[in-house]
Amino acid sequence: MDKLERIYLWIATVMLGIFMMAIIYSTLVLSIRIPSDKGKIIVKPGESLVQSVFQTPPFDHPGLYKRGEKEYELVIVGQAWAFNPADIEIPLNSTVRIKATSLDLQHGFYIASTPVNIMLIPGEITVFEYKFKKAGSYRIICNEYCGMLHHAMTGTITVK
């Protein structure tokens, strides 16, 4: 083996070690979890994830709920290959707290022309807040490849 090759291999090994330590440190010491620490769906013994999601509030009733003056909570359940609900109407200038999860696979929840781009992970609850300040129609897109009809996994948000 060439001397230079050996040096490169050593550098690569040391870097890999540092990255592994960083992952372990961020998980165990800093308690960083993906996608957030907003909770999990607890699957009871003998139950499937689908049953557990539909028995865990607020996911037992997906939809848009008024929580205050110009404040809403949007409960979204993603599944292959649809969002529930898929067509949502939001009053202009409302702050929407999106709470989302997935029933089966990893999906994306991206609202085009906004910074809302969240990952829906089976059994994990993701929360994201956004204020809709511009009226119009926004397309919801699944941007995590989730199989055959991934391209058909869309929805619409109408802000007015």
Q: What is the contact surface with Cu ion in residues (CB under 5 A)?
A: 107, 142, 146, 153
Nearer to Cu ion, 99 or 107 (CB): 107
Q: What is the DSSP string of 98-135?
A: EEEEESSS-EEEEETTSS-EEEE-BTB-EEEEEEE-S-
Q: Is the dihedral of CA 97, 103, 105, 111 positive or negative?
A: negative
Residue reference for tokens 């090994």: 13
Which is nearer to Cu ion, 121 or 142 (by Cβ)?
A: 142
Of 75 and 146, which has the nearer Cβ to Cu ion? 146
Q: Give least dist CB 150 to Cu ion, A.
A: 5
Q: How far is the CB of 87 from Cu ion (least distance, A)?
A: 17
Give the residue with the Cβ less far from Cu ion, 74 or 122. Answer: 122
- Sort residue 144 into left (φ over 0), alpha (ψ -120 to 50) or beta: beta
In the complex, least distance from residue 16 CB atom to Cu ion, rounded to whole angstroms = 32
Q: By C-beta, is 140 or 142 nearer to Cu ion?
A: 142
**Going by C-beta distance under 8 Å and a sequence separation of 6 or more, which residues neighbour residue 62?**
75, 76, 77, 84, 85
**Smallest distance, Cu ion to C-beta of residue 49, A:** 16
Report, in Å, the least distance between residue 33 CB and Cu ion. 22
Tokens standing for 135?
A: 């009226």
Q: How far apart are the first and last CA of the chain?
A: 68
